Amino acid sequence: MFAFPNGVVQRISGTALIIQGEDIDTDRIIPARFLKCVSFDALGDQVFADDRLELAGEHPFDQERFKGASILIVNGNFGCGSSREHAPQALMRWGIRAVVGVSFAEIFFGNCLALGIPCASASPDQILAIQAFVNDDAARHWTLDLEEMALASDQDRWDVTIDAGPRDMLRSGRWDATSQLLDNSSKVEGLMNRLPYLNNFATR
């Protein structure tokens, strides 16, 4: 197992695996009963637990050929529903370091960003083609490059997009927002001294 993301996130390399379907919600990524925990540590084994149970070993996260994959290829509105960070935490602890898909639910995207996991987008047709390539050759090595904005293997190359803000945060290693927010603590104080609802609605 590689270390969790830390610092600059510029290129993610490894094999890929695919999860197909629109609107895959976070209850499916990590069912609620596994949220009964005070740490994220055990979540890696529980990712997609119910779907995996249903498919009895045939789920992509159980298939031997996808073992060790670090790039997840998904379809549209991936990660919709609950705000649980347990979902990207579970994916990360299984080994996922980047997600490429048609689109992502916003809270899920932000939760991934806060962990240093890029969510890059490509068109529906491109994603279907990439998923077909991964399915045909699970051993193929891919690199998601945030500088080149591409997902490439030694045989092909696909343009991907990610908004400039998150991209810069990942590439500069500033995706962990806490310190930036704390840098502005005097501005927070200033605002708190002005906001009507924190000052008994006194007119200034």
Partner 1 sequence: MADLPGGSTQLFVGLHLIHEVTSPQAFSGLRDKGLTVACPERTVATVDHIVPTTSQARPFADPLAEEMLSTLERNCAESGIVLNGIGSGRQGIVHVIAPELGLSQPGMTVACGDSHTSTHGAFGAIAFGIGTSQVRDVLASQSLAMNKLKVRRILVDGRLSAGVSAKDLVLHVIRTLGVKGGVGYAYEFAGSAIEALSMEERMTLCNMAIEGGARCGYVNPDQTTFDYLKGRPHAPSGAAWDAAVDWWRSLATDAAAEVDDEVVFDATAIAPTVTWGITPGQGLGIDECVPTLTMLDPGERPIAKEAYRYMDLQPGTPIAGVPIDVCFIGSCTNGRLSDLRAAAAVARGRHVATGVKAFVVPGSEQVARAAEAEGLDQVFSAAGFEWREPGCSMCLAMNPDRLEGRQISASSSNRNFKGRQGSASGRTLLMSPAMVVAAAVHGRVTDVRTLALHSAS
The answer to whether 57 contacts partner 1 (rule: CB under 8 A) is: no
Q: Per-residue string for binding with partner 1, 115-154, x by CB under 8 A? A: x---------------------------------------
Strand runs labelled E in 53-149 = 71-73, 98-101, 119-121, 141-145
Q: How far, in Å, CA of 104 to CA of 46, rounded? A: 21
The answer to whether 159 contacts partner 1 (rule: CB under 8 A) is: no
Which residues share a beta bridge with 71? 16, 98
For the bound state, the minimum distance from the C-beta of residue 155 to partner 1, rounded and expressed in Å, comes to 28
For the bound state, the minimum distance from the C-beta of residue 141 to partner 1, rounded and expressed in Å, comes to 29
Q: How far, in Å, CA of 34 to CA of 39, rounded? A: 11
Q: Phi/psi of residue 76, each to 5°?
A: -95, 150
Handedness of CA 117, 94, 21, 31 (dihedral sign): negative
Q: Which residues bind partner 1 (CB under 8 A)?
A: 21-23, 25, 27-28, 31-33, 35-40, 50-51, 53-54, 76-77, 80-86, 88, 103, 105-107, 110-111, 114-115, 163-166, 168-169, 172, 174, 176-178, 180-182, 184-185, 187-188, 191-192, 195-198, 200-203
